[in-house]
Amino acid sequence: MKIDLSLGEKSYSVFIDELQEIKLKGKVAIITNPKVGGLWLDFLLQRLKCEQKFIITIPDGEEYKNTASVEQILEKLFSSKLDRKSTLIALGGGVISDITGFCASIYERGIDFINIPTTLLAQVDASVGGKTGVNNRFGKNLIGSFYQPRAVYCESKFLSTLPAREFAAGVAEAVKMAVCFDGELFKFFETHDLKSADEISHIIARCVAIKADVVARDERESGIRAALNYGHTFAHAIEQSTNYTRFLHGEAVAIGMSMANALARRLGKLSGEQEERIRAVLQKFALPVEFKIKDIDAFYELFFLDKKSENGKIKFILPDGIGKFSIADDIDKAAVIATLREFA
């Protein structure tokens, strides 16, 4: 299956279960981590045709998505004498996708890169759309760029080696899209356990199609694309307050959606029954929905470091029922604090 993302000269395709051969000119550097490399690097090397290949491995984990890893990658690219005709390939999950794309965007002012996501989270979300970046001590993805890949290859076979916890983290991002854009997809999560390859491929294809449509309409997140951050304003604060070590990103998003849902219910945008349906789906896939906030005021202040905040106003993406969303930057602080107290 092929899904096209229309962005003029930056258009590209997302291929689902069609990775037979990749032919590239010039040098190619594959960025991966030890775990993914051990499982799937040979699979890729057998299908990659190019002049010269280099393998760059960085440690696994969100805590390594930083400028130190960027420096490590760039150092190896320069020492290997890659040039503007070279290509980077991201082989891994969301961290690898984000950091490889960022390195591609700044190396010699920009070279091509290809995403080959190996986690469900990266296949349904992170690898498509051109958001790249790294974290720093002030917050998540605050250093980065919008830089589109030349192609994305999603292979469902990669998920066969994915730990259950990592798979569930990807489900969280898929549920996010369903709640905001597709009520029928949400019902699919309610009625299916995602145990079969066909069910998983359906989820991947539908989420990629949603993401492709949204990005084509709003590449740089000036409007509708912000809806893809449902749950993320809260999630990023959770991740930062736990030093990116306690939760996988998708797990933090699941909790963040629960917090956003509580705020939406308080504002009359989500009924208690709808809130419980979303909670039930998240729990069905063993995702966390609770988090104990130790310092509510400090947690609230973390929202202002979120990239969606503008002119000192926090932008919240909230469900408007199931299948629709709303974006608001004028929510009274008291309502937000009262919501956070539900998690204290």
- Tokens representing 87 are 């290509």
Q: Which residues in the chain belong to E strands, given as ranges? A: 2-5, 12-16, 22-23, 27-32, 48-49, 52-57, 87-92, 112-117, 131-136, 139-146, 151-154, 316-319, 325-328
Q: Tell me whether residue 173 is one of the annotated catalytic residues.
A: yes
Distance, CA of 163 to CA of 159 (rounded, Å) = 8
Q: Is 136 a catalytic residue?
A: no
Taking a C-beta distance cutoff of 8 angstroms, is the pair 238, 252 a contact?
A: yes
Q: Considering the candidates 155, 221, 239, 251, report the single residue annotated as catalytic.
A: 221
Q: Does residue 76 carry a catalytic annotation?
A: no
Catalytic residue selected from 236, 265, 277, 307: 236
Looking at 176, 249, 279, 307, which residue is catalytic? 249
Exposure on the CB side of residue 197, measured as CA atoms within 13 A:
8
Task: Note whether 176 and 124 are within 8 A (CB).
Answer: no
The single-letter DSSP state of residue 54 is E
Residue 35 annotated among the catalytic residues of the structure: no
**236 given a catalytic annotation:** yes
Rounded Cα–Cα distance for residues 338 and 79 (Å): 54
Active-site pick, 2, 9, 21, 109: 109
* Residue 225 appears among annotated catalytic residues: yes
> Which position among 229, 279, 308, 315 bears the catalytic label?
229
Q: Which of 65, 206, 211, 279 is catalytic?
A: 211
Q: Which of 232, 265, 307, 308 is catalytic?
A: 232
109 annotated active-site: yes
Q: Is-catalytic flag, 192? A: no
* List 76, 225, 265, 279, catalytic entry: 225
Which residue in the list 65, 76, 131, 140 is annotated as catalytic? 131
Q: Which of 62, 155, 166, 173 is catalytic?
A: 173
Compute the distance between CA of residue 192 and CA of residue 183 in angstroms, rounded to an integer.
14
The residues that are catalytic are 109, 131, 173, 211, 221, 225, 229, 232, 236, 249
